[in-house]
Amino acid sequence: MGAEGICRRALCLLVSLCLILGAAWPTEAARAKAVSKKAKKAAKKREVPGPVIKSAVVTDMASGRVLYALEPDLAIPPASVAKIMTLYLVYEAVELGKARWSDPVPVSVKAWRTGGTKMFLDPHTTVPLGELVMGIAVVSANDAAVAVAEYLGGSVENFVLRMNEKARQLGMTHTVFKNPHGLPAKGQITTARDMATLSRAYLDRFPESLRVHSQRYYTYHNIRQRNRNRLLGTYPGADGIKTGFVCKAGYNIAATARRGDTRLLAVVMGARNPVVRAKETARLLDEGFRMMGARGG
């Protein structure tokens, strides 16, 4: 083959290669474009997050004035914030002379088997009522809530009837309790407004309860557990009340803090996580104290 033939063959090969690459290029370009679209879509999702909380109410304890409200009547599971009503009925029973803090409360197998957070009670034993209240208030003990309900109500079912009766008396028109601890139950709902109503009534009638709610740790059976209220010890004047979480609701809290002569209540429902719950509650309390002109810690 002469030099001219070799040159022609090389030229043909070069043209063929260019045609192949040219045909493949749009495919690669299309892939790059698709990847780019996906990246932009993902970035857009990150830039537009959902709401950090679902509902909230901030109230002045003394006057009952609502300082801030976000979807205050949105129905949402109460989670362990329901235990405020359980504790209300315990304090009421003691106040009325129907029970004493030293009463030995039997621990049933049902109470012992209750899931979720607990103080690790032993079945077929008795525990002083005051000890159970510590467990409910500080470490959100579900086993203690059941033991108390059985003791004061005769059965959990009867105690829950009392919870709902008290809710009606207090004006909690959008709340239905199904158990004394707040674990998931069909039809168990409340609102931020109703929980603010309960919290204000509870602290107004039983202000001494804050001596328990302000405890950051509780030990039972040599097991030391921490209060899940992250505002305690970190937010000036915070001394209660109760947190809660279930998947359907998110992270809830009924919090209170005092500055000078001003005490505020902040109910935050459906926070994304515990950090957001604490951060948003602190922010709302700050704004509430600013509105009230309160200074100091």
User: What digits encode the pLDDT tens for the residues 7-40?
Assistant: 455 444 544 544 444 444 445 445 555 545 655 5
pLDDT, tens digit (0-9, with 9 covering 90-100), for 129-166: 999 999 999 999 999 999 999 999 999 999 999 999 99
Residue in 54, 55, 80, 214 annotated catalytic: 80
Q: At what angle do helices 142-153 and 83-95 cross, to 10 degrees?
A: 40
Least confident of 34-38, 72-76, 79-83, 195-199: 34-38
Least confident of 25-39, 135-149, 190-204, 242-256: 25-39
The CA-to-CA distance between both ends of the chain, in Å, stands at: 99
Residue in 108, 140, 199, 214 annotated catalytic: 140
Q: Could you tell me which of 184, 224, 166 has the C-alpha nearest to residue 175?
A: 166
Q: For residues 250-285, b (16+ Cβ closer than 10 Å) or e, as one string?
A: bbbbbbbbbbeebbbbbbbbbbbeeebbbbbbbebb
DSSP H helices, the chain, are 3-47, 83-95, 109-113, 129-139, 142-153, 156-170, 192-205, 210-213, 274-292
- DSSP assignment, residue 76? B
Q: Would you tell me how many other CB atoms lie within 10 Å of the CB of residue 131? A: 18
Residue in 54, 83, 118, 178 annotated catalytic: 83
Q: What is the pLDDT of residue 295?
A: 64
Burial-class residue 17 by CB neighbours within 10 Å (0-12, 13-18, 19+). exposed
CATH topology of domain 55-292: Beta-lactamase (3.40.710)
Q: What is the pLDDT of residue 59?
A: 98
Active-site residue flag, 140? yes
Active-site residue flag, 83? yes
Q: Is the pTM of this model over 0.75?
A: yes
Contact between residue 151 and residue 136 where contact means Cβ atoms under 8 Å apart: no
Distance between CA atoms of 95 and 73, rounded to whole angstroms? Answer: 31
